Amino acid sequence: MAFDLAQLLSQRRGENFELHAKYVNPQLANVLRTLGFDRFYERGEGCYLYDDEGREYLDLLSGFGVFALGRSHPVIKSALHQALDADLANMVQMDCALLPGLLAEQLVARSHAGIERVFFCNSGAEAVEASIKFARAATRRSRIIYFTHAYHGLTMGALSLNGSSEFKAGFGPLMPGTVEIGFGDLEALRRELLAGDVAALIVEPIQGKGVFELPAETWRNIEDELRRVGALLICDEVQTGLGRTGALFAYEHYGLTPDIVTVSKALSGGYVAVGAMLTSDRIYRSVYRSMQKALVHSTTFKGNQLAMVAGLATLQVFDDDDVVAHSARMGELWHLRLGELKEKHEFLHDVRGRGQMIGIEFAAPTSRAALRRWRLVESAREAMFSQTLVVPLFHEFGILTQVAADGLNVIKLLPPLIAGEREMDSFVTALDELLTRAETSSEWLRSFALTMTKGFVGRSKKKRDVAAR
Ligand SMILES: Cc1ncc(COP(=O)(O)O)c(C=O)c1O
């Protein structure tokens, strides 16, 4: 029988949460059902998702940054159709294929002058794993420093560089030779470098968890300290890279010249998993130092031709549509529009980020009545206030957003880089309305509680239905 995707999707339509609860991740299914986020999305296009009831959702998460060019971009789609139709000789392994060479050439050409080589892999975490090995090999030192709140992925090495304890608990012992220091803490960095055993400092130029930034001068001091002792700077651009912050790489904002750069998400064109680690010839040769060592670091799917085509087509759209400049322009506009809301709403405390990577922080208001409501919400759970916005943003306004991290009252926006003023208007209008409600009455809290209760009851009912089968 021929495989028929359309038939499969139509026959099993709507079973998605049940299947996940049974076979994939029951707790995630529980969380999403409780929030009432259990939908059957049928289609995605540009900045929007469409569910089986035909409802439209503005996607301000873009798959955690994967859909830089939006969903179902026609150029990437056509490139992948072309690749499939060409019956490419994929992953011959005993071969040096053309397309990985071409994509590497493009990435090197777009990086700072010290970047000369590219290692391809399948994900952000894998690119980070590569960076740990290359930094250790190149310096013959073992220790890697990372910042509090850092997020570099969840594989064992990357997890060992995670600056939030909740991700690490229960998975030890982690990789030895790692040190956490405060974000931008120069004194701590100097102290750790004194021992002479630090291979590298790994950083996100703008931290994803909370959208935190450092002044350019601090970055320059950090780079100087590292250079002074021969330690490497790894810029993890898995999220910030490829235009997200209004520059091709976020390190450009601060004039940094990292020794190693990791990229992933956006390079996929939203279709094919890919990761890449960019570095210098010198660092590359410390790993691949002889013919015997030609595959000493490798992975089966490196240079997967479909991923390479998606990457090449993505970069071409970046050029043709001037995507990075658009992202920078939108960043300025986001700050302007959200800055106006900040003036108006006492719950809105800060607007951070650059380009289309935006953090909106909420904090205790000053007026008595609003403060009472804030305390009520926050007494239920730390950093609950932002959740009371994320839920109605989705249900009432059809806007998908997320809280930036556990314990932080920050909503993080990662719109597709192609998002424009229409999308911004939708979000700003919705947030304005919700904050006005939160400041003027407790009604918003009652409707939040009602949504959660409905989600909880729905979840319990679905559990009983499944058990009864
Ligand atoms: C900065 C950064 N590094 C690494 C990763 C891990 O990437 P992946 O989820 O593809 O393993 C992420 C994922 O969000 C990230 O934001």
User: Which residue's entry shows tokens 């991740």?
Assistant: 25
Would you say residue 469 has pLDDT above 60?
Answer: no
Residue 459: predicted pLDDT? 55
Q: Among residues 266, 285, 24, which one has the least CA distance to residue 127?
A: 266
Q: Are 298 and 142 in contact (CB under 8 A)?
A: no
429: CA distance to ligand 1 center in Å?
31
**What would the mean pLDDT of 255-272 be, rounded to a whole number?**
98
Q: Are 123 and 262 in contact (CB under 8 A)?
A: no
Which residues share a beta bridge with 233? 201
Is ligand 1 within 6 A of the CB of residue 373?
no
What's the pLDDT band for 225 if we cut at 50, 70, 90?
Answer: very high
- How far lies 452's CA from each of 57, 245, 374, 445, 465, in Å? 19, 34, 18, 11, 20
Q: Are 307 and 272 in contact (CB under 8 A)?
A: yes
How many other CB atoms are there within 10 angstroms of residue 253's CB atom? 19
Q: Among residues 417, 124, 419, which one has the least CA distance to residue 242?
A: 417
CA 107, distance to chain mean position in Å, is 20
138: CA distance to ligand 1 center in Å?
23
What's the pLDDT band for 460 if we cut at 50, 70, 90?
Answer: low
Point out the least confidently predicted range of 19-28, 117-126, 457-466: 457-466
Domains of the chain: residue spans and CATH: 38-67+323-460 (3.90.1150.10), 74-321 (3.40.640.10)
Task: Give the β-pairing of 260-263 and 275-279.
Answer: antiparallel
**What would the mean pLDDT of 118-123 be, rounded to a whole number?**
98
SS3 69: coil
Residue 322: predicted pLDDT? 98
- The three-state DSSP-derived secondary structure of 233-300 is EEEECCCCCCCCCCCCCHHHHHCCCCCEEEECHHHHCCCCCCEEEEECHHHHHHHCCCHHHCCCCCCC
- How far lies 151's CA from each of 2, 7, 146, 274, 459, in Å? 43, 40, 9, 18, 31
pLDDT digits over 43-85, tens only? 999 999 999 999 999 999 999 999 999 999 999 999 999 999 9
pLDDT digits over 4-41, tens only? 999 999 999 999 999 999 999 999 999 999 999 999 99
pLDDT digits over 231-249, tens only? 999 999 999 999 999 999 9
What's the pLDDT band for 462 if we cut at 50, 70, 90?
Answer: low
* Residue to mutate (ligand 1; options 120, 237, 261, 265; most atoms within 8 A of CB): 265
CA distance 114 to 425: 41
CA distance 373 to 53: 35
End-to-end C-alpha distance for the chain, whole angstroms: 29
**What would the mean pLDDT of 190-206 be, rounded to a whole number?**
98
pTM: 0.96
> CA angle 30-31-34, nearest 5°?
85
Higher pLDDT, 381 or 181: 181
Q: Are 126 and 181 in contact (CB under 8 A)?
A: no
Would you say residue 157 has pLDDT above 70?
Answer: yes
Mean of all residue pLDDT scores within the chain: 95
**Residue 200 buriedness (CB in 10 A; 0-12 / 13-18 / 19+):** buried
What's the pLDDT band for 447 if we cut at 50, 70, 90?
Answer: confident
Would you say residue 123 has pLDDT above 70?
Answer: yes
What's the pLDDT band for 461 if we cut at 50, 70, 90?
Answer: low
* Residue to mutate (ligand 1; options 152, 262, 277; most atoms within 8 A of CB): 152
Residue 406: predicted pLDDT? 84
What's the pLDDT band for 465 if we cut at 50, 70, 90?
Answer: low
Listing from the earlier edge strand, what are the strands of the sheet with 232-236?
117-121, 275-279, 260-263, 232-236, 198-203, 143-147, 178-181
- How far lies 206's CA from each of 3, 4, 203, 251, 270, in Å? 44, 44, 8, 9, 22
369: CA distance to ligand 1 center in Å?
41
Residue 446: predicted pLDDT? 78
How many other CB atoms are there within 10 angstroms of residue 446's CB atom? 10
CA 93, distance to chain mean position in Å, is 30
Q: Which two tokens stand for residue 271?
A: 């279709």
pLDDT digits over 354-372, tens only? 999 999 999 999 999 889 9
**What would the mean pLDDT of 143-157 be, rounded to a whole number?**
98
* Residue to mutate (ligand 1; options 121, 162, 238, 272; most atoms within 8 A of CB): 238
CA distance 98 to 290: 23
Is ligand 1 within 6 A of the CB of residue 274?
no
CA distance 264 to 103: 13
Q: Are 345 and 359 in contact (CB under 8 A)?
A: no
Nearest ligand 1 atom to the CA of 240 is: 1
